[in-house]
Structure formats: C-alpha cells, structure tokens
C-alpha cells in the first residue's frame, strides 16, 4: 500500500492534468452559464500549469516555474475582469446565460 502512495511518477501528473483539462473543456462546451464557463477556463489553465511543471521537473529545467507564476497571474487577472463583466451584465440583464446575451451581435 505504501509503495503505491510514494511511487508517484510523471505519468500520474500528466494524467491528472489531462483529466483537469477535459473537465474544463466539458464545462465550456456543455454549460451555458458564464460563471461556470469562467471556472472551466481556470481549470484548463491549471491543467496547463501542471503539465508545464511536470515537464519542467522531468527535464530538470526549473525555469518553467517562472512561466507558471506568470500564467497564474494572468489567470487571476482574467478571473477578476471576467467576474466584473459578468456582474455588470447580470445587473443590466438579470441573466448570465451565454445563449441569451445577444447585445453585442448587432
């Protein structure tokens, strides 16, 4: 039992990243709520970070940690701006369903 817990390889992290990314893609494609879509995009960015850090560790080059921190900062900025837009749209329309928001089409 303890051998399974302590022998976690690179493949485990890559599978975790793939599962996180697929959950994010499913969240963007299936759900129409803007908040759920933002959370799904965050999941995809976190999956990309896990993949980046796994390959960085695998190759012994730790410079990717800096890039991962930049991705985290961009994701935080994206979340704050996206949430502000969603709140502004909700105040005006009382709805955040993406299919119903047609203001910018015309």
So where are the chain's domains?
A: 2-105
pLDDT per residue over 2-57, tens digit each?
Answer: 666 678 889 999 999 999 999 999 999 998 888 888 999 999 999 999 999 999 99
Q: What is the pTM of this model?
A: 0.81
Backbone angles phi, psi at 97, to 5 degrees: -75, 125
Q: State whether the Cα torsion 42-44-71-88 is positive or negative.
A: negative
Distances (CA, A) of 80 to 10, 20, 27, 51: 32, 21, 19, 24
The rounded distance, in Å, linking the Cα atoms of 39 and 30 is 13
The rounded distance, in Å, linking the Cα atoms of 5 and 1 is 7
Q: What kind of architecture, by CATH, is found in domain 2-105?
A: Orthogonal Bundle (1.10)
pLDDT per residue over 49-98, tens digit each?
Answer: 999 999 999 998 888 899 999 999 999 999 999 889 888 888 877 777 77
């Amino acid at each position: 039992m303890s051998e399974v817990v302590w022998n976690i390889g690179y493949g485990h992290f890559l599978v975790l990243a793939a599962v996180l990314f697929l959950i994010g893609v499913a969240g963007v494609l299936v759900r129409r709520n803007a908040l759920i879509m933002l959370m799904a995009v965050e999941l995809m960015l976190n999956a990309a970070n896990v993949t980046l850090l796994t390959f960085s560790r695998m190759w012994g080059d730790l410079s990717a940690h800096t890039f991962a921190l930049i991705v985290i900062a961009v994701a935080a900025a994206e979340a704050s701006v996206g949430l502000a837009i969603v709140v502004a749209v909700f105040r005006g329309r009382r709805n955040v369903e993406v299919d119903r928001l047609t203001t910018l089409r015309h």
